[in-house]
């Protein structure tokens, strides 16, 4: 389902400035998946759950595995709705009425159908599973952007899917052509 995500921030990466006043978001990179006057929603791309793997989760949810899965880590997408799963994936999978288009080449689905597809013999070409998300209330993200809590850069599939988790923050900043050593932090941020 193509959802009109006409806002210029949807599909961008938010990069936490050094010194962010919320340890949960220190050195995070967030893919902004939805944004309106009422809310914003994104997935942290460089925090993983240490105690749960993809195979473990699929076993717990009784998702039949037709193929051996890479034992990829699960993203800790943020502090909101940590019992909910979200899959960022390539456009070769769609759950009618449930998949949203984030931007060219990126989709988001939060159904068991996408988990079944991931475990099938023909999974989406690229996918990342996250539990939880980062959320902002009305005008909260805009206020944080004005306070220089976040840098904004175009999304990059390599950063999202292929870059090592501990290198995503620096790689995202490098896309702006600046060195992380030259950054100074903003004020508070509470996604």
pLDDT by residue for the chain (191 residues), tens only, comes to 333 334 689 999 999 999 888 999 999 999 999 999 899 999 999 999 999 988 889 999 999 888 777 778 999 999 999 999 999 999 999 999 999 999 988 999 999 999 999 998 889 999 999 999 999 999 999 999 999 999 999 999 999 999 999 999 999 999 999 888 887 654 444 55
CATH architecture of 12-182: 3-Layer(aba) Sandwich (3.40)
Rounded-to-integer distance, Cα 20 and Cα 176, Å: 19
* Whole-number pLDDT of residue 191: 55
* Whole-number pLDDT of residue 17: 94
* Whole-number pLDDT of residue 4: 38
Instruction: Spell 160-186 as b/e; 16+ CB within 10 A means b.
Output: bbebeeeebbebbbeeeeeeeeebeeb
Specify the pairing of strand 127-136 against strand 73-76.
parallel
Residue 128's H or E segment, with its range, is: strand 127-136
Rounded-to-integer distance, Cα 123 and Cα 49, Å: 22
DSSP state of 36: -
* Dihedral angle sign, alpha carbons of residues 25, 26, 31, 32: positive
């Amino acid at each position: 389902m193509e959802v009109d995500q006409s806002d210029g921030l949807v599909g961008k990466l938010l990069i936490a400035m050094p010194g962010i006043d919320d340890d949960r978001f220190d050195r995070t990179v967030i893919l902004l998946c939805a944004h309106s006057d009422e809310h914003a929603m994104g997935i942290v791309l460089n925090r993983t759950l240490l105690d749960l793997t993809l195979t473990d989760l699929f076993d717990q949810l009784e998702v039949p595995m037709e193929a051996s899965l890479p034992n990829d880590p699960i993203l800790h997408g943020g502090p909101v709705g940590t019992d909910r799963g979200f899959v960022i994936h390539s456009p070769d999978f769609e759950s009618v009425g449930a998949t949203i288009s984030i931007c060219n080449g990126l989709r988001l689905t939060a159904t068991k159908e996408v988990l079944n597809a991931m475990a099938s013999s023909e999974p989406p070409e690229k996918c990342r599973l996250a539990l939880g998300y980062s959320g902002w209330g009305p005008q909260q993200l805009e206020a944080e952007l004005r306070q220089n809590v976040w840098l904004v850069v175009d999304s990059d599939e390599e950063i999202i899917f292929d870059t090592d988790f501990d290198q995503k923050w620096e790689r995202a900043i490098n896309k702006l052509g600046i060195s992380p050593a030259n950054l100074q932090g903003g004020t508070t941020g509470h996604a």
